[in-house]
Homo-oligomer: A and B are copies of this chain.
Amino acid sequence: MSGRPLDVLEASLNETVTVELKDGTAAVGILSGYDQHMNVVLDAPGEVEESEALGDLTVDSVEDTTIIRGDNVVSITV
């Protein structure tokens, strides 16, 4: 799963990813799309997971298809 950042996103399509945002929140969902700005589309996981902690972050699953604008993204863990 090595490679350039967008290659890693391509390889992670339809998998669950965690997106950490600049506002201190994080969202987990199934990566269903992305573009070159690192705008991403997350779909709700089939089974809503409970909130879980990621270090100091509380991570919530998205409940509906959500587009996250890339300039808010700190990191994407795949």
Contacts and interface: CB of A to CB of B under 8 A. Distances in A.
Interface of A: 1-9, 21-23, 32-35, 38-41, 43, 55, 60, 62, 64-78
A71 B68 contact: no
Contacts of A76: 66-67, 69
A64 B15 CA distance: 14
A62 B75 CA distance: 11
Copies in the assembly, this chain: 7
Given A5-B41, A6-B35, A69-B70, 15 more contacts: A2-B41, A2-B43, A2-B65, A3-B32, A5-B33, A5-B67, A8-B33, A8-B65, A22-B23, A22-B72, A62-B77, A64-B77, A64-B78, A66-B76, A72-B75
